[in-house]
Structure 1
Amino acid sequence: MAANSNGVDVTIMGREFRIACPPEEQDKLMQAVAYLDRKMREIRDAGKVIGVERIAIMAALNIAHELLNTRMGGFDVGDIKRRIHCLEKQIDEAMADQDDLFER
């Protein structure tokens, strides 16, 4: 990975790409690049799909399928975070009322 003001240089299946990315997101970008590269290599190594473009499309479909299965299975990280935040807010409100009970 090479970073500069114009973006980050990444390599996926031996091909180099420059991706615009803010510095604070570079670690996540590199995780995504590694995941995509691994998925594409698995498809290529299985030998059933030929051509980088077709491999990329199959990898994208597989990743989209994984995401949809995760969400449909009732496990949506964004939803879980929103619920936790709501519960924290309710707990804070309940605890604030409790402080009034113990004042002297």
Structure 2
Amino acid sequence: MAQVNVTINGRSFRMACDDGEEKRLEGLAQRFDGWINELRGAFGEIGDQRLTVMAGIMATDQLVEMERKLARLEEELTTVKQEREAVRAGRQSSEQSVVAAVEEAAEKIEALAQGLSKSLKSG
């Protein structure tokens, strides 16, 4: 298991992560530290613990919003899939109707051709 040193709110933390996940953990820590710095800029020195809690709430808020968007996109995807299936079924039905009409027309043409053939032979 790999270990990474990250700095959050001016403090260094040694953290463990899966091998190959070091850059990702460093990036996450930098992002979290950015939120803390953003909050410090907006509210001043209001205490490390409060800044950390507020940054955690910001992260959770973003997570919840992304979950909402994901759920909405999943619903849209389900609707699109259902519509696609309806179009497919409609197309299949239309193709069957066209085939039936062509077969019926072919039978009529064949009957006409036989009738003409008989008329020409007897005439």
Q: Give TM class, smaller chain.
A: 0.5 to 0.7
1:72 equivalenced with 2:68 (yes/no): yes
Q: Which residue of 2 aligns with 1:40?
A: 36
| Structure 1 segments unaligned to the other structure (5+ residues) | 84-104
- In structure 2, relative to structure 1, the CA distance for the partners of 1:6 and 1:33 (3 Å cut) is same
| Larger helix share, 1 or 2 | 2
1:63 equivalenced with 2:56 (yes/no): no
Q: CA deviation at 1:42?
A: 0.3
Q: Which residue of 1 aligns with 2:105?
A: none
- In structure 2, relative to structure 1, the CA distance for the partners of 1:49 and 1:57 (3 Å cut) is farther
Identity %: 30
Is the contact between residue 8 and residue 29 of structure 2 (CA under 8 Å) also seen in structure 1?
yes
Is the contact between residue 43 and residue 49 of structure 1 (CA under 8 Å) also seen in structure 2?
no
SS in 2 for 1:20: strand
Q: TM-score, normalised by structure 2?
A: 0.53
Q: CA deviation at 1:27?
A: 1.1
Q: Which residue of 2 aligns with 1:20?
A: 16
Cα distance in 2 for partners of 1:47, 1:65 equals 19
| Structure 2 segments unaligned to the other structure (5+ residues) | 78-123
Amino acid at match of 1:16: S
Is the contact between residue 13 and residue 40 of structure 1 (CA under 8 Å) also seen in structure 2?
yes
RMSD in angstroms over aligned alpha carbons? 2.4
Q: CA deviation at 1:49?
A: 6.1
Q: Following superposition, which runs of at least 4 residues in structure 1 exceed 4 angstroms of deviation?
A: none
1:24-63: CA deviation from partner (whole Å, max 9, x where unpaired)? 1111101101100100000011125611111000000011
Q: Which residue of 1 aligns with 2:25?
A: 29
Q: TM-score, normalised by structure 1?
A: 0.62
Q: CA deviation at 1:22?
A: 2.2
Which shows bigger deviation, 47-56 or 37-46?
47-56
- In structure 2, relative to structure 1, the CA distance for the partners of 1:49 and 1:63 (3 Å cut) is farther
Larger Rg, first or second structure (1 or 2): 2
